[in-house]
Structure 1
Amino acid sequence: MFKIFIVEDDKRLVSLLEEHLHKFGFDTRSVVNFEAVRSEFEQFSPHLVLLDVNLPKFDGYYWCRQIRSLSTCPILFISARDSKMDQVMALENGADDYITKPFDYEIVLAKINSQLRRAYGTYANSHQERTIAVAGLMLDVGRLVLSLSEQKIELSHTEAKILDELMRKSEQIVSRDRLLEKIWDDQTFVDDNTLNVYMNRVRKKLVLLDIHDALQTVRGQGYRLYPNWGSES
C-alpha cells in the first residue's frame, strides 16, 4: 500500500483529499505540527508528498528542500498560487509537479499515480540494477546516484531520467520533445520553462562532480552531453 503524506493547513481540503485517496487504497497521513514537518515525514516514511506553498511558520518551498535532503520520493505541490514563477520555484526547490487549486480530484489522482509509476512501478523496477557509464561517469539508475571517480551525488527521479537519456546517446543531440516524452507521462503541466528548469538542475549536479560545460544546448534542436571530462588530466 502506497503512503501519501499531506502537508496542507486547510483541514476541509485535507479531509476531502484523504477521503478520495482512501477509496483507491492509499494510506494517508496529514501533518500535525507545522514546525515539525521534517520529523513527521521521517516517522511516516511516505512514498509521495502533497505539499502546499502557503503554510504556517515556514512555506512549502522550505519544507520541500528539507524533504529533498532526506528522500527522492515524488513531491507534488498543491497551491492556489498559479503564477509561472511559483511553479518554477517549486521545481527549483525539488518538486516533481505542481497542481493549482481549485483542482479536480481525478486529476490529482492521475498525477499521483503517474509519479508512483515512475518512481516505484514496473519501469522503475525493471531498471533497478541498471547502470550507464560514459568516460568514467557512472549513473546508477535504480539508486539515483551519479558518480565520477570517488565523488558521488544523489539525483531526483527526473534528473536521473534526463541523464539516462543523455548518457545513452552521448555526443548525440537529444531533442526537447524526446526528453519531454521520456520524462513526463502527462504533459499538461509541462512547458518550455519546466524543461529549462530541470536542465539547469542537471547542470548544477554535474558541476558538483567538477564537470563544467559538458551539457550543451543546441539551439533549435535540443541538448547534447559531450564527455569533455574524459579528456581532462
Structure 2
Amino acid sequence: MFKIFLIEDDASLFKEIKERLTAWEYEVYGVRDFQKVMESFAEVQPDLVIIDIQLPKYDGFHWCRMIREHSNVPIIFLSSRDHPTDMVMSMNLGADDFVQKPFHFEVLIAKIQAILRRVYNYSTAAPDLKTWMGATIDLERNRISNDDGMIELTKNEIFILKLLVERKNKIVSREELINLLWDDQRFISDNTLTVNVNRLRKKLAEIGLGAGIETKVGQGYMAIER
C-alpha cells in the first residue's frame, strides 16, 4: 500500500482527498504543525507528496525545496491561483506534476496512478547502470556521474534521460515523451515537458553534458553521442 503525504491546510479539502484516496487503498497522512512539515515528512517516509501552494507560515514552494534537499520522492502541486508561473516554478523546483483547483478527482487519481506506476514499477524493472558520453547513469539511485562530478536527478529527469539515451542519435518526439511520462496527455501542458527537459539540461551542464541533448524544432529531442 502506497503512502501519500498531503500538505494541505484546508481541513474540508484534506478530508475529502483523504477519503477518496483511502477508498483507492492509499494510506494518507497530513501535517499536524505547519512549522514542522519536514518532521512529519521524515516520520511518514511517503511514496508520493501532494503540496498546496498557499499554506500557513511558508508556502508550498518552500517545502518543495526542503524536500528536494533530502529526497527525490514524487511531488504533485495543487494550486487555486491562476498563475502560469506557478506551474513553471513548481517544475523548476523538482515537482513531477501540477493540478489546478478546482479539479475533478478523477484527474488527480489518474496523475497519482501514472506517477506511482512509472516511478516504482520502472525502478524495479530497469537495469541499474547505463553509459553515455563517458558518463555513468545510475538508474536505481537517480544520478549521473563522470570525471567532472556527480549530479542527482528527479524521477522525471532520470526517466527522460533514460528514454533519450536508449535511442541516442535518434529523435524522440515530444508526443511520445509526454505519453510515456504521464500516460494521458489530455491533462498535461506541452510546457511541462519543456520545463522538465530544460531543468535536466541545466543539471547536465554542471558536469559538461549540457549540449548532449539537442532540441529538434517541431519534432522532439535527441541524445547525441559521437
In the superposition, the TM-score normalised over structure 2's length comes to 0.93
Aligned equivalent of 2:74: 74
Q: Deviations over 1:191-233 (max 9, x none)?
A: 22111101111111101213242222122222222247xxxxx
SS in 1 for 2:72: coil
- Between the aligned residues of both structures, percent identity stands at 41
| Per-residue deviation, 1:173 | 2.2
| Per-residue deviation, 1:150 | 6.5
Aligned equivalent of 2:47: 47
Query: Residues 202 and 210 of structure 2 are in contact (CA less than 8 Å); yes or no, is this contact kept in structure 1?
Result: no
Aligned equivalent of 2:16: 16
SS in 2 for 1:73: coil
SS in 2 for 1:188: helix
Q: Report matched runs for 1:185-204 at 5 Å.
A: 185-204=183-202
Aligned equivalent of 2:3: 3
SS in 1 for 2:185: coil
Worse-matched range after superposition: 88-97 or 136-145: 136-145
Aligned equivalent of 1:119: 119
Residues 15/154 of structure 1: CA separation in 2 closer, same or farther (3 Å cut): same
Q: Is 1:86 the counterpart of 2:86 in the alignment?
A: yes
Q: Report matched runs for 1:1-233 at 5 Å.
A: 1-121=1-121, 123-127=122-126, 129-149=127-147, 151-227=149-225
Worse-matched range after superposition: 16-25 or 147-156: 147-156
- After the TM superposition, list the runs of 4 or more consecutive aligned residues in structure 1 that deviate by more than 3 angstroms: none
Structure 2, gaps ≥5 residues long? none
Give the length in aligned residue pairs.
Answer: 226
CA distance in 2, matches of 1:59, 1:202: 25
Worse-matched range after superposition: 53-62 or 184-193: 184-193
Query: Residues 77 and 90 of structure 1 are in contact (CA less than 8 Å); yes or no, is this contact kept in structure 2?
Result: yes
Query: Residues 171 and 226 of structure 1 are in contact (CA less than 8 Å); yes or no, is this contact kept in structure 2?
Result: yes
CA distance in 2, matches of 1:24, 1:201: 33
Q: Deviations over 1:77-111 (max 9, x none)?
A: 11212332211111111111111111222322222
CA distance in 1, matches of 2:117, 2:204: 26
SS in 1 for 2:211: coil
SS in 1 for 2:165: helix
CA distance in 2, matches of 1:84, 1:168: 33
In the superposition, the TM-score normalised over structure 1's length comes to 0.90
